[in-house]
Amino acid sequence: MRSADLMPVTVLTGFLGSGKTTLLNRLVRQPAMRDALVVINEFGDIGLDHRLVAEGDEHSVVEMSSGCLCCTIRGDLSKSVQQACEALEREGGRPISRMIIETTGLADPAPILHTLMTDHWLAQRFRLDGVICLVDAANGVSTLNAHRESQRQAAIADCLLITKADLVDEPRLARLSERLAEVNPAAEQLQVKHGEVDAARLTARRLPASGNPDRQAEGWLGAAAYVQVSPAAGLAPTPSEASAPLLAPATTSPLSRHGEQIRSFCFSVEAPIAPEVLEDWLDLLMSLLGDKMLRVKAIVNVAGQPQPLALHGVQHIFHPPVPLPAEACADGVSRFVFITSGVAPEAVAQLFDYFQAPHPTKPPQAQ
Ligand SMILES: Nc1nc2c(ncn2[C@@H]2O[C@H](COP(=O)(O)OP(=O)(O)OP(=O)(O)O)[C@@H](O)[C@H]2O)c(=O)[nH]1
């Protein structure tokens, strides 16, 4: 099945009490979400959230409450979705056309995206449309500072929804907005009150499908918002990083003040990239550092290919590449956005140089 034919999945994430259920309740009432399958993951013995979600076909809401989707019950996602689809079919219900997954407040979204990409049944039917992260305006900054999960949720998102904006003043909102831009410079930020948002706004940053306009691909990548890194020199290392092992996380960064060090950057390559260089480089990066790769997005000019390719990876896995219209990479520059947990940009740049070099000698030392 072509990527464009797969059903879109929206992952709704956000820390405890950030307003996910409130938002979902509003979303499912909108015509654009009429045919959505809603998966609600709750933690604890008594799941309540699903009861709060608006009426609708009983099979269009799937509750998963025996554990957290990102750790213990990943395999159950596929089974539960499959059962819901079969039940709808058996009972003549409306076929679904998209899925929304509400994660628990403590979930790390990366393993959930990984499951969507690697589970055979799911990957044949669904594609990630976007990750929406809700951040509570009243507690957002302190939550980001105190909880690694909250930083990861914000870092990986395509769109950041600042909820409960009615509870705080403008300076406080501005501080939160700045902090979020540190963690995730490319994500669009929207303010939401009591879950009121147009569903169409949340689906505007999806992974481009063949034939989509190039502007959409550009928006999806958001490359311009990141620290820029290029091959050969990479970024000049700071004195403390210069003597550190290449693949060890760097110790100093403006983003390392609070808990986990999220490092995101855009690596650009001007000349077309030979397919074997691309494959070897990404294979090695993902096998050495996959668990630190929260998200990788790229639009690549591959040597000998008439169309640029969109790549999308999470942890050790990449989606099948999606060919884009030539205009999506009009300047011929390949751009890779890396959102990582502590991966130094130099590691990415130097590994690329190694594979790009005509007579490589020895790969850089992994730690
Ligand atoms: N004032 C105000 N309250 C809000 C807003 N959005 C949500 N709330 C309230 O915040 C509380 C938590 O909202 P939920 O939607 O349950 O949050 P959640 O993210 O689903 O919570 P968990 O499932 O516990 O992680 C509820 O009492 C909501 O009514 C908002 O924009 N403004």
Q: What is the CATH number of the domain that holds 32?
A: 3.40.50.300
- pLDDT tens, the chain, 367 aa long: 556 678 889 999 998 889 998 898 888 888 888 888 888 876 543 344 444 444 454 447 777 665 555 555 566 788 888 888 888 888 777 788 889 998 877 778 888 888 888 888 998 999 888 899 999 999 999 899 888 889 989 998 989 999 999 999 999 999 999 999 999 998 889 999 999 988 888 875 555 554 455 556 777 777 777 878 887 644 444 434 443 444 444 333 433 333 457 888 899 999 999 999 999 999 999 888 888 888 888 999 999 999 999 898 887 778 778 888 888 888 999 999 998 888 889 889 999 998 988 755 555 555 4
Q: Is 153 in the pocket of ligand 1 (CB under 6 A)?
A: no
Ligand 1 center to 222 CA (angstroms): 29
Beta carbons within 8 Å of 236's beta carbon, 6+ residues apart = none
Instruction: Looking at the structure, tell me whether residues 171 and 268 fall in a common domain.
Output: no
Write down the pLDDT at residue 244.
42
- Confidence (pLDDT) at 3: 61
Q: What is the pLDDT of residue 6?
A: 85
Residues 191 and 258 reside in one and the same domain: no
The set of residues, in sequence order, having a beta carbon less than 8 Å from that of 63 and lying 6+ positions away, is: 40, 42, 47, 49, 50
Q: 189, 208, 67: which is closest to 130 by C-alpha?
A: 208
Give me ligand 1 centre to Cα 193, in Å. Answer: 10
Residues 162 and 221 in one domain: no
pLDDT at 275: 95
Where does the chain show beta strands of DSSP type E?
A: 7-14, 36-41, 61-64, 98-102, 126-136, 159-163, 188-192, 227-229, 262-269, 293-300, 309-314, 317-318, 322-323, 334-341
Q: Of 203, 235, 258, which residue is a domain's last? A: 203
Is 144 within the bounds of a domain? yes
Q: Ligand 1, residues 22, 64, 65, 135: which to mutate, most atoms within 8 A of Cβ?
A: 22
Q: What was the pLDDT predicted at 342?
A: 83
Kindly give the distance from the C-alpha atom of residue 221 to the centroid of ligand 1, in angstroms, as a whole number. 30
Q: Is 20 in the pocket of ligand 1 (CB under 6 A)?
A: yes
Ligand 1: distance of its center to the CA of 53 in Å? 13
Whole-number Å distance, alpha carbon 16 to ligand 1 midpoint, is 9
Q: In the prediction, which pLDDT does 270 show?
A: 93
Q: Does the beta carbon of 18 sit less than 6 angstroms from any atom of ligand 1?
A: yes
Residues 19 and 153 in one domain: yes
- 279 CB neighbour count, 10 Å cutoff: 13
Enumerate residues 6+ apart whose C-beta is below 8 A from 143. Answer: 15, 135, 136, 150
Please state, in angstroms and as integers, the Cα–Cα distance from residue 129 to each residue in 3, 79, 157, 243, following that order: 11, 21, 11, 41
How far is 39 from 51, CA to CA, in rounded Å?
12
pLDDT of residue 239: 39
69/41 Cα distance (integer angstroms) = 7
Residues 182 and 294 occupy one common structural domain: no
d(CA 141, CA 156): 17
**169 CA to centre of ligand 1 in angstroms:** 18
DSSP state at residue 260: S
CA of 23 from ligand 1 middle (Å) equals 8
Measure 165 CA to ligand 1 centroid, in angstroms.
Answer: 12
- Give 74-131 as a DSSP string: HHHHHHHHHHHHHHHHHTTPPPP-EEEEEPPTT--HHHHHHHHHH-HHHHTTEEEEEE
Domain match, 131 and 230 both = no
Distance CA 54, CA 51 (A): 8
Nearest CA to ligand 1 atom 21: 17
Answer yes or no: do 140 and 274 share one domain. no
- 361 part of a folded domain: no
155 in any annotated domain:
yes
Q: Is the CB of 232 within 6 Å of ligand 1?
A: no
Would you say the CB of residue 17 lies under 6 angstroms from ligand 1?
A: yes
- List the CATH number of the domain containing 250: 3.30.1220.10
Count structural domains, the chain: 2
pLDDT of residue 205: 53
What is the spatial distance between Cα 286 and Cα 37, in angstroms, rounded to a whole number? 32
Which of 155, 176, 203 lies at the terminal end of a domain, its last residue? 203
Q: Is the CB of 19 under 6 A from ligand 1?
A: yes
Residues 90 and 189 in one domain: yes
Nearest atom in ligand 1 to 24's CA: 15
| ipTM of predicted complex | 0.98
Which residue, 203, 223, 255, sits at the end of a domain? 203
Q: Does the Cβ of 49 fall within 6 Å of ligand 1?
A: yes
| Domain annotation covers residue 193 | yes
How many degrees, rounded to 5, is the angle at CA 145 between CA 188 and CA 189?
10
Place of tokens 């507690």: 139
188: domain range?
Answer: 3-203
Q: Are 109 and 141 in contact (CB under 8 A)?
A: no
